[in-house]
Amino acid sequence: MANSGFDTRGVPISYGNQDAIDGLELAIETSLSFRGDAIAVIDKTLEEHPDFIMGWLFKAGWLTQAMETRIYSEMVSALSEAENRLSKANDREKGHYEAIHAWINGDFYGAVQKWEAVLTAYPLDLFALELVHYTDVLLGDVVGQRDCVGRVFNLWDESMPGYEFVLGFYSFGLEENNNYFQAEEMGRRALAIRPDNPYAVHAVSHVMEMSGRQAGGIRFMADQRKHWGDSNFANHLWWHTALYHLDLEQNDKAFEIFDRHLDSRRNDGNKYEELDAAALLWRLNLAGEKSGDRWAHLADKWEPSAQDTLYAFNDVHAMMTFVSDDRIDAQKKLLSANERYLKNASDANVAMSREIGIPFCLAMQDFKSERYGDCVDRLLPVRYMTHRLGGSFAQRDVIGWTLLEAALRSKRYDLALGLANERAALKPTSVQNWRAVSRSFKGLGDHTKADRANARADSLMA
């Protein structure tokens, strides 16, 4: 039996074999750098060191983030391998075990509490920090995304392995809490240490998105592409690049990105890629574009997950594809599975699904059936609760944009003007925001103000 040891940051590990600890370190780095397969890396170590408890906990813990039912059996079996050896675990490892145990029972919020307890006791536990931060993103705990890093940040410095990833987490957390200046500073510091850091690129790209720096964003992504272009995060970063183009009414460029980088026919695909692809195509449709047969393959990819009821954020993206490709049966399956689930379950996803997921799914059906007024009535009451769906502000903006477009198409121009003004005030560099202001004024019969808003949009394109 190996004696206990420490990882490279001095965090205790009950199984002290250095090869095993090095294997874990490589797996953590693989997960953080969005390169390679962290599960394959840890599996290799576990083959040689089956008693390496923290290895099993890494495997089960990392699998929590997939948010897919198909990995559940692998996650449960990794946790039970850890459980069989729990008498030898240290307190930190027991904390990780309890967190994943809570997760598997559907208590995502309880899992975060337990990972946070580990992090409080071991502020340099990079894996605990990673899981708390990502889970806060998954669950839409906006403040937590920032503060989980803030609580430990002063205890870190550049000499510690992984500091650049901590900077990346902090950058994203600050950005989601509207602290764009500090967020960009943290993100750029992270990239100065390690340019190949897709999460830090991502955080800075969010800063650009939210502060309406579209041209700068396009340039930044192009400059950084040599580092992120072949990472596991590339699809999402292409999606971000497409958002800048959409804002500038460069819809052809957004289609080009879809066809080259997000098209499910070209990619084997995982949930993240399929989320981004659906989210981009829905936006292009909102912008009035026809998308040809692009939805069909995407709907094929989502259909096996129609009855997952695991994560409302997935469900709304699945529904985008079912609604857009007129798959009535798949829509029914998704809704009835959720109906049964909401009646019987009590896990953390219930509230996400009931409060936001299902209302948005129904609103998308309304939209596609041109019942625009019903779409507005469904979305207006929930628009300020959408963070509960998880994801980022930029991702959830699809709900606000759908609401605005439905208000315009239902000819509720006074409401549309309010919604469009709100968006233009927050992001005055967006061409499409001023077009929406213009369409609202036109609907209200004020052609002078409509022309003025259009002129403003045109000037942004110049």
**C-alpha triplet 30, 261, 249: angle, nearest 5°:** 125
Asked whether 171 and 200 are in contact (CB, 8 A), the reply is yes
Secondary structure of the chain in HEC code, one letter for each residue: CCCCEECCCCCEECCCCHHHHHHHHHHHHHHHHCCCCHHHHHHHHHHHCCCCHHHHHHHHHHHHCCCCHHHHHHHHHHHHHHHHCHHHCCHHHHHHHHHHHHHHCCCHHHHHHHHHHHHHHCCCCHHHHHHHHHHHHHHCCHHHHHHHHHHHHCCCCCCCCCHHHHHHHHHHHHHHCCCHHHHHHHHHHHHHHCCCCHHHHHHHHHHHHHCCCHHHHHHHHHHHHHHHCCCCCHHHHHHHHHHHHHHCCCHHHHHHHHHHHHCCCCCCCCHHHHHHHHHHHHHHHHCCCCCCCHHHHHHHHHHHHCCCCCCHHHHHHHHHHHHHCCCHHHHHHHHHHHHHHHHHCCCCHHHHHHHHHHHHHHHHHHHHCCCHHHHHHHHHHHHHHHHHHCCCHHHHHHHHHHHHHHHHHCCCHHHHHHHHHHHHHHCCCCHHHHHHHHHHHHHHCCHHHHHHHHHHHHHHHC
Task: Please state the closest distance from residue 123 (CB atom) to Fe ion, in A.
Answer: 26
Closest contact distance (angstroms) between CB of 134 and Fe ion is 12
Task: Compute the least distance from the CB of residue 236 to Fe ion, in Å.
Answer: 6
Closest approach, Cβ 200 to Fe ion, in A, equals 12
Number of chain residues interacting with Fe ion (CB under 5 A): 1
Toward Fe ion, which CB reaches closer, 232 or 392? 392
Stretches 43-51, 112-120, 152-160, 386-394: which one binds Fe ion (CB under 5 A)? 386-394
Build a one-symbol-per-residue string for 205-244: x at contacts with Fe ion by CB under 5 A, - elsewhere.
----------------------------------------
26-34, 217-225, 385-393, 415-423 -> range binding Fe ion (CB under 5 A): 385-393
User: Which residue lies nearer to Fe ion by CB, 221 or 437?
Assistant: 221
Least Å from the CB of residue 157 to Fe ion = 28
Interface mask (CB under 5 A) for Fe ion, residues 335-374, using x and -? ----------------------------------------
Residues of this chain, 48-107, that bind Fe ion according to CB under 5 A: none
| Nearest residue to Fe ion on Cβ basis | 392
Nearer to Fe ion, 221 or 436 (CB): 221
Of 40 and 143, nearer to Fe ion (C-beta) is 143
Q: Which is nearer to Fe ion, 102 or 208 (CB)?
A: 208
Residues pairing with 6 in the sheet: 12
User: Least distance to Fe ion from the beta carbon of 248, Å?
Assistant: 18
CB-based contact 41:58 (threshold 8 Å): no
Q: Closest CB to Fe ion among 125 and 273?
A: 273
The nearest distance, CB 280 to Fe ion, in angstroms, is 12
Segment 387-426, which members bind Fe ion (CB under 5 A)? Answer: 392
Smallest gap from Cβ 382 to Fe ion, in A, equals: 22
Q: How far is the CB of 321 from Fe ion (least distance, A)?
A: 20
Closer of 102 and 203 to Fe ion (Cβ)? 203
Residue 392 or 402: the one with the smaller Cβ distance to Fe ion is 392
Which of residues 392 and 430 has its CB atom nearest to Fe ion in the complex? 392
Judged by CB under 5 A, which stretch of 269-277, 340-348, 384-392, 443-451 contacts Fe ion?
384-392
For residue 31, give the nearest of 134, 115, 117, 111 by alpha carbon. 134
Q: Which is nearer to Fe ion, 285 or 392 (CB)?
A: 392
CB of residue 203 to Fe ion, shortest distance in Å: 9
**Which of 393, 392, 395, 417 is CA-nearest to residue 404?**
417
Chain contacts with Fe ion (rule: CB under 5 A): 392
